[in-house]
Amino acid sequence: MKTIGVIGAGTMGIGVAISLLQKKISVRLIDIDKDQIGRAKTEIENKIAIYSMLRGIDIDEEATKNNILYSTDIQTLKYADIIIENISENIEEKNKLYHSLESICKKDCIFMINTSCIPIKDIAQDLSIKTHMLGVHFMNPVPLIDAVEVIQAESTSEGVLSEALLFLKGLGKDSIVVHDSPGFVSNRISHLMMNEAIFLVDEGVAKPEDIDKIFKCCYGHKMGPLETADLIGLDVVKDTLSIMGEYFEGNKFKIAPLLERMVAENNLGRKTGKGFYKY
């Protein structure tokens, strides 16, 4: 049985860990913040039964607890078969992490980068492991979304891509493979939509609930752009737009002033109890 290392114990790392545990896969969940590891342990134990019930999955909660190791020590990943990395969207931090991993992990380890918008080539450059690196953009909430955006960089070997797709299929994920580019497909489009919706609120054109209702009732979307922004976290939306703005000329990804204000006021959406809606 494969051992999977999950780096980053935030929202995405927790979701990925739950999806792995539901398939009885051995997990090593790593975060540099000891307190965050404690919070992740509590959240996983509280949510795995709920997510499993929603998906009709029978789980042995006690066995599941024994199938995951929580740690702040990256050395525990030395025998991992696959690493799924979910740290913050900071290219310097990601580069630093992968330079450490290339001296720790097995030569045949596969590295799945769960990034929102940073091109894989910018993370993989100058690394000896770049042929084993690819992007895997899981969607939130991970246990409930059956598709992933897989990003094949120019340096990603075909064998690694094939093995990664086989692994994701075993997780019950439908992989949609795209080529490497800032924001890839999903976030290059979706963040423009969310940002423009925020401009419309700020300009007084429409209320948040009416904007979302148009997308749900007229276009058949399950969630509107502002509900989606609240789910992702407005700070994450802002950071992603900022990074995208560095890659594209002009004002295409200019951050809406209302978004700037809401983040400054810590109204970040679901995780703080208030965004465009109250929770």
Name the binding residues: 8-13, 31, 89, 94, 116, 140, 271
Asked about 137 being catalytic, the answer comes back as yes
Asked about 99 being catalytic, the answer comes back as no
Catalytic residue chosen out of the listed positions 52, 114, 116, 190: 116
Phi then psi for residue 76, to 5 deg, are -70, -5
Asked about 195 being catalytic, the answer comes back as no
Asked about 149 being catalytic, the answer comes back as yes
Catalytic residue chosen out of the listed positions 86, 137, 190, 191: 137
Using DSSP bridges, classify how beta strands 82-85 and 110-113 pair: parallel, antiparallel or unpaired: parallel
Catalytic residue chosen out of the listed positions 43, 102, 149, 163: 149
Phi then psi for residue 269, to 5 deg, are 110, -145
Instruction: Give the three-state DSSP class for 22.
Output: helix
Which residues define the annotated binding site for NAD(+)?
Answer: 8-13, 31, 89, 94, 116, 140, 271
Burial group, residue 39, by CB count within 10 angstroms (0-12, 13-18, 19+): middle
Residues in the chain: 279
Q: Which has the closest alpha carbon to 200: 215, 188, 220?
A: 215
Quick one: CA dihedral 133, 237, 34, 46, positive or negative?
negative
Catalytic residue chosen out of the listed positions 86, 187, 190, 195: 187
Active centre residues (catalytic): 116, 137, 149, 187
